[in-house]
Structure 1
Amino acid sequence: MHTRLRSLTLLASLVLCMPALAAAPNEAVAKPVKTVVQSVRLSKDDLALKQLADEEMGRFLLGDDWAKATEAQRKEFTKLFHSLFAKIAFPKVRENFKNLQSITYDPPTVEGDKGNVSSLVIINHPMKKQEMKLKYAVVKDGSAWKVLDVFVLGDSMLTGIRDDQVRPIFQQGGWDHLLDMMRKKEAELSKK
């Protein structure tokens, strides 16, 4: 689990290591991506986390079990997920900002309450230049757009988290076990 978590953290850090989007035809669709990126760059993690589509992420990660949870369980899951994501991924994102060369974006595409923002990220590591194609999935949440997922070369960050971490832990003991494991990991990371 830790190896996969590290891989997902690296993926998330590369996904988020970019400057703000250039003006796009549908700025409202691109806005949450820009806010996440700038907030992480400026160490304003709470603002970045507010741009995530919490309900949609929860439904995706836990499927039918999301609706079966109590309101308190869903809130605690979201809080712990945010904390773990910020403590694991965001410091690596900030580190990768040092190697960012450029980013180019395609205009956002929108279909109903769902949208996508595609980009090409060029990371200029001291030993190797790297080009990554990214696609951000955003969803409309009320009147605002929120970031739901990131795809790198077609691979979904949320699918990896769901299949390699959340679902296996949940299947071992349901909501109580999942939240307990998340609390323990969060406490471990808080000590560092």
Structure 2
Amino acid sequence: MNAIARLRTLPFLVALTFAVPALAAPKASEAITKPVKTVVQSVRYEKDLKALENLGSDQQGLFLLGDEWTKATDAQRKEFTQLFQSLFAKIAFPKVRENFKNLDSITYDEPQVTGDKALVGSTIFINHPLKKQEMKLKYAVEKVGSGWKVVDVSVLGDSMLTGIRDDQVRPLFKEGGWDGLLGAMRAKNNELGSVKLK
């Protein structure tokens, strides 16, 4: 499968939701859950740029590319981040909005904090006219500077970033290094066309 075909199958099938844990200390809980709430509300109401600002792009890049991320030039990291966020907004966000059309209710877990990392669990209930559905999600959040950023989300234990890394990023990088990876991402981004982010 060539690089462009792989990008067509990016597994961005994820529904984002926000969390308000009841048992954590109010200030700590608020700081941890704020970026999750902001991402979800922003995507839901088509404020995609605001949502992207609350994602940990450098942390995502490091997870996806490992040592290659630290060896990359500033220009390579910058372009990867821009392309990854653009593809994410064009592919994932419309699917999230579609899921929210039938959002019924959400329950939340207490954040599990370990140093500068935290996990926020939640269950969303989708009340579709044809089928009711329950989805369990867990968000990986990391402290970046003085705030927190959303880095990953797992659905039923499957990490979104792990799937993207193993199925797309690593094969593309192995095939063509930074030039091949960025070239495939540029091509996919152009194929999806111009989407104005608000």
TM over 0.5: yes
1:22 corresponds in structure 2 to 20
What is the CA distance between 1:140 and its match in structure 2? 0.4
The one-letter amino acid of 2:70's match is A
SS at match of 2:12: helix
Cross-structure match for 1:99 = 102
Find the aligned partners of 2:121 and 2:20 in 1 and give their Cα distance: 12
TM-score (normalised: structure 1): 0.92
Deviations 1:19-75 (A, max 9, x none): x43365311000110000000011110110011111111011001100111000000
Length-normalised TM-score, structure 2: 0.89
SS in 1 for 2:54: coil
SS at match of 2:129: coil
Which residue pairs with 1:90 in the alignment? 93
**Match among 146, 149, 154 for residue 146 of structure 1:** 149
Aligned equivalents of 2:165, 2:7: Cα separation in 1: 14
* Alignment check: 8 A CA contact 2:12 2:160 kept: no
1:4 positional shift: 3.6
SS at match of 1:151: strand
Runs of 4+ in 1 over 4 A off after TM superposition: none
Deviation per residue, 1:113-134 (Å, 9 max, x gap): 0001100111112211111111
Identity, in percent, stands at: 66
Structure 2 alignment gaps of length 5 or more? 1-5
- The Cα shift of 1:190 comes to 1.2
Give the total of aligned pairs.
185
- Residue equivalent to 1:67: 70
Residue ranges of structure 1 left out of the alignment (5+ in a row)? none
Match of 2:50 among 39, 43, 47: 47
> How well do the aligned residues superpose, as a CA RMSD in angstroms?
1.5
Match of 2:12 among 9, 33, 45: 9
Give the whole-Å Cα distance in 1 for the aligned partners of 2:180 and 2:174.
9
Counterpart check, 1:131 vs 2:134: yes
Q: Distance in 2 between matches of 1:22 and 1:161?
A: 28
Match of 2:80 among 61, 77, 81: 77
Give a deviation string over 1:136-187, Cα, whole Å, max 9, x none: 0000001010001101111100000000001000100100010000000001
